Amino acid sequence: KIEYYLKVGDNDGINGKKTTKTAHYTFEIPTIEKLREDLKISSESAESQIDNTLEEAKELNKSLEDIDNKFKGKKELSWQDQKQIEDLIKRKEALNEAIKKLQEQYDADTKKRDRFDKEINEDLKTKMEQLQQLMDELLDEETKKLYDELQRLLEEQGKIDDMKKVIDQLNNKESNLEQEIERTLELFKKMKYELKL
């Protein structure tokens, strides 16, 4: 633990030197116990966030299937259909934001663990890297492009057949996302258990 302050002075030889200093600051390296407690709380929060993300992905998947089924046999979009697609796009954006926050939190926790906790074995480090890779893959660039295409078709009042194709592709992508989040949650729980051990 280091307490410090900054002090500066001028070189006024005629009127006398004047100095000023800042308030006192503290820099403290956490103890391993404190660090582990913080990481435990953060880990529980992350697990809860992954659970919520999984639930949201399931809801999004269900909405996509509903829209897909609704569009079968339709020749043009109603106002309600357009609203439903807009809502779907907004929910996907919110889901992406939640995934980004989750990735940032996990990345920060991993760096903290690497920096201060030297008792982690190689097998556990490998699992942590796998989990990081899984999380990085949750935000798929191809899926983003499909949602952008759907947004463009909606704004330009595009053909319903083109929208059906995009929605069909998104259906497959979102189903994969749901499975990826489930895998991420499973690996996260295993890693958390091993860290406790």
pLDDT tens digits for range 156-182: 876 778 888 888 888 888 888 888 888
- Using the predicted structure, report yes or no on whether residue 151 has a pLDDT greater than 70: yes
Lowest-pLDDT range of 46-55, 56-65, 112-121, 123-132? 112-121
- Using the predicted structure, report yes or no on whether residue 77 has a pLDDT greater than 70: yes
pTM: 0.73
Q: What is the largest CA-CA distance in the chain?
A: 92
- Using the predicted structure, report yes or no on whether residue 119 has a pLDDT greater than 70: no
Q: What is the pLDDT of residue 67?
A: 85
Mean pLDDT of 81-106: 88
183: buried, middle or exposed (CB in 10 Å: 19+, 13-18, 0-12)? middle
d(CA 183, CA 172): 17
**Nearest to 39, CA basis, from 115, 101, 100, 134:** 115
Neighbours of 113 (CB within 10 A): 21
More confident residue, 42 or 72: 42
d(CA 115, CA 100): 23
Q: Are 110 and 126 in contact (CB under 8 A)?
A: no
What confidence category does residue 118 fall into, taking pLDDT thresholds of 50, 70 and 90? low
Mean pLDDT of 31-49: 85
Name every residue whose Cβ is closer than 8 Å to that of residue 148 and which is 6 or more positions away in sequence: none
Mean pLDDT of 151-158: 81
d(CA 15, CA 34): 51
Q: What is the pLDDT of residue 21?
A: 93
More confident residue, 166 or 73: 166
Could you tell me the CA-to-CA distances from 46 to 7, 53, 86, 98, 163 in Å, in that order? Answer: 42, 10, 29, 11, 35
Query: Within 12-78, where are the H helices?
Result: 32-71
More confident residue, 191 or 91: 91
- Using the predicted structure, report yes or no on whether residue 137 has a pLDDT greater than 90: no
